[in-house]
Chain A
Amino acid sequence: MSTRIVSISPAFEDLMPNEYKELVENGPYGKDYKVTDLGKYKELIEEHPLCAGCGLALSLRLVLGSLPSPEDTVIVGSTGCSALVFPQVGLHNVHSLFGNQNAVASGIKRALSLRFPDQVKDVVVVAGDGATADIGLDMVMQSWFRREKIATIMLDNEAYANTGGQESGMSMEGTVMNMAPKGKVFPKADLPKVAEASGCAYVAAASPSRPGKLGKVVRRAILIAREVGPTYVQLLSPCPTNFKTKPSDTVVTIKTREKEKSFKQYEYISDDARSFLSALDEGKQSEGKKSEGKQP
């Protein structure tokens, strides 16, 4: 992007509210921040209206801190809790409808490739489990079938949280929730495997309990999507409100799930993606047309 869109007309510099001045002076645009740099700069999220202890808010903050080129990233969201955050995010982002995020993203990606053929334009989908695995699954999978160069990130809180705690395809079997009053009768959908079979070049499951790892997989997913093909990242992001856990226990919840083996980190890298990554490691190939020298 032309960084001019985050520079203030000189005549108005004194008048701009502080948060904008901070964004201009100390924002992440054109910098090379990684997830470990959080806290050192003005983040892309201003404030958010999500519940205390929200796993999704935690994931989202880490995702936004892991974008390799925030100045050239357009995010497509979907209906759900996360959509409440996006008005506060310092990027171009689209809320369209419930479930059509990957179809919208396909259109955006194709249009930006036409308009800016020599520039990096990352299109990243960030949506919940209902939007990704249930109502939008056909469009998610079809974007993978078509090998759309977009990264799809699921914020998996294992429920429809915004609508009041209904069971989703990603809920654990047996979970008693609204619309599953006798407990969910089928297992949690194995979407990473579906992604792999559908043509994703890179698939990962992670969680905000390990921010470094989350940052690494998100960054990889976006870089691989830029150069190789579609990618999918699933982030376990528990909902303390609907599962009635303590807001301070969100990370504990994830760690318990890991111990119980009902959640595990996972990473699949296709051969093409692997050679792309090793080329990056060896510094043989730049990450993209204009982000020379960044490491995955």
Chain B
Amino acid sequence: MLQQQVRSPEYLFFEAEKKKQFLSGSEAVREAIRKANVDVAISYPITPQSESMHLVGDLFAEGYVKEYFRGENEFAVMSSVAGAAMAGVRVFTATGGPGTMRAFEMFPVWAGSRLPIVCAFLTRGINSPLTIQPDTIEMAFLLETGMLMLHAETAQDLHDMLLKAFIVAEKTDVHLPVGVFADGFFVTHTKEILHIADADSKLPPYDPHCAPVPAMDMESVPVRQMRDPFVMKSNFISYAAHASWQQEIEAAQERSRKHLERYLGGLVETEHEDAEVLLITSGTAVSQSREAMAICRKEGLSVGLVKIKSIRPFPSDELRRLAAGKYAVIVPELNRVGWLAKEIKARVDDPRRVIGAPRVFGGMTMPAHLIVDEIRRVLQ
């Protein structure tokens, strides 16, 4: 194990020299966690995530992660990381697809309990029938769990977003779980070139005393403290307490915008945003859209691109502004339900201009020409 020096997040993210490496997405997870100063990581296998948590296990064996074990199923793993987070340590886990569904009851608990858990969701399709292939449909289910959701396009994004996720998650005014999503296989199992900081630096440790709720350790006040209680039904005003609690989770999401803007350089990234037709999407659909945009622009078509990096909080104001006056907004997606198109339609001034297409799912690759066809069809 390398001797690591604690450096500020600002140093690690913005100042440290970045060196070139040829890595798969799973290896990018490992390199992020190596520098994340994680206390407890808990794993459970599921394709295409397993490799990531194998590698985190290697980090444990090497000494970069202090505690690690394989839990019994995803619901239990998400429960165990919740326990560890309540007891005041930094935790990490990963899952995807059916694992996400198995664990589901815990996700709103994470947010409701103000737990700064970072979880990598390496997405895949959901049964039935069984599939192990990439598909982003699980994100549709997670939209309203209260967690922050970042969507990586590349292994580079996955690495950077994971590291930054810990820092945003642990801000006192946020203190919410962050899901970092990457499309299974297309990111996890693809080797590509990254630029990352050396592993001789690591993030500062988590300080549970900055949390907006007390740690469960019998060292924090108040001693009489239950996480997280029934809001007693015998109390006539309990409904207001529960409602106010939920609003506070939503408020914490809102507060994360400022931090995400700073660390991610904005919730969206644009290229040729003045074009007549905008491709707006997230994840690897952005990569495919980049190819499509290049083809179209060579033909002289006015096509631009908006990459959405944060799904929760959603860049509503940014998209409303960007979509205003466009001939069309095309939203390619790697799922059947088109959740992203729905999200965008609900926010822009003229939802009729938003086209939820093309879509592929069940593991299909989205060829750039499908997007090109859609652009041509719209412009005809």
Contact = CB atoms under 8 A, between A and B. Distances in A.
Q: Within 8 Å by CB, do A and B touch in the complex?
A: yes
Interface of A: 1-2, 5-6, 23, 29, 46, 49, 71-74, 76, 83-84, 86-97, 100, 103-116, 121, 138-139, 142, 146
Contacts of A23: 223-224
A116 B227 contact: no
A104 B83 contact: yes
Interface of B: 39-40, 42, 66-67, 69, 71-73, 75-77, 79-89, 91, 105-106, 109, 214, 216-230, 232, 234
B218 A71 contact: yes
11 contacts: A5-B222, A72-B218, A92-B218, A95-B227, A97-B105, A103-B80, A107-B42, A111-B40, A112-B87, A114-B66, A114-B67
Mostly, the A contact residues are helix
Given A115-B217, A142-B72, A110 B40 contact: yes
B230 A107 contact: no
Contacts of A93: 216, 225-227
B218 A138 contact: no
Contacts of A116: 217, 219
Contact of A104 (B79, B222, B225, B230): B79
B72 A103 contact: yes
A106 B76 CA distance: 10
A216 to B, nearest CB: 24
A139 B72 CA distance: 7
A114 B226 contact: no
Contacts of A104: 79-80, 82-83, 86
A56 to B, nearest CB: 16
Contact of B87 (A72, A89, A115, A139): A115
B83 A103 contact: yes
A83 B227 CA distance: 11
B73 A138 contact: yes
A23 B214 CA distance: 19
Counting chain A CB atoms within 10 Å of each CB, the highest count among B91, B218, B219 belongs to B218
Given A100-B79, A107-B91, 8 more contacts: A73-B218, A89-B226, A93-B225, A94-B86, A104-B79, A107-B40, A116-B217, A142-B72
Contacts of A90: 223-224
Nearest to A105: B83
Ranked 8 nearest A-B pairs via Cβ: A107-B83, A111-B87, A107-B84, A103-B79, A107-B80, A104-B83, A100-B79, A142-B72
Contacts of B82: 96, 104, 107
Contact of A74 (B67, B81, B218, B229): B218
Nearest to A86: B226
Given A100-B79, A108-B87, A114-B39, A2 B73 contact: no
B113 to A, nearest CB: 8
Contacts of A92: 214, 216-218, 220, 223, 225, 227
Given A103-B72, A107-B42, A114-B66, A76 B226 contact: no
A128 B75 CA distance: 19
Contacts of A89: 224, 226
A97 B232 contact: no
Contact of B216 (A74, A106, A138): A74
B223 A95 contact: no
B84 A5 contact: no
A105 B81 CA distance: 10
A49 B232 contact: yes
Contacts of A111: 39-40, 67, 83-89, 91
B76 A139 contact: yes
Counting chain A CB atoms within 10 Å of each CB, the highest count among B91, B222, B223 belongs to B223
A33 to B, nearest CB: 16
Nearest to A85: B226
A115 B229 contact: no
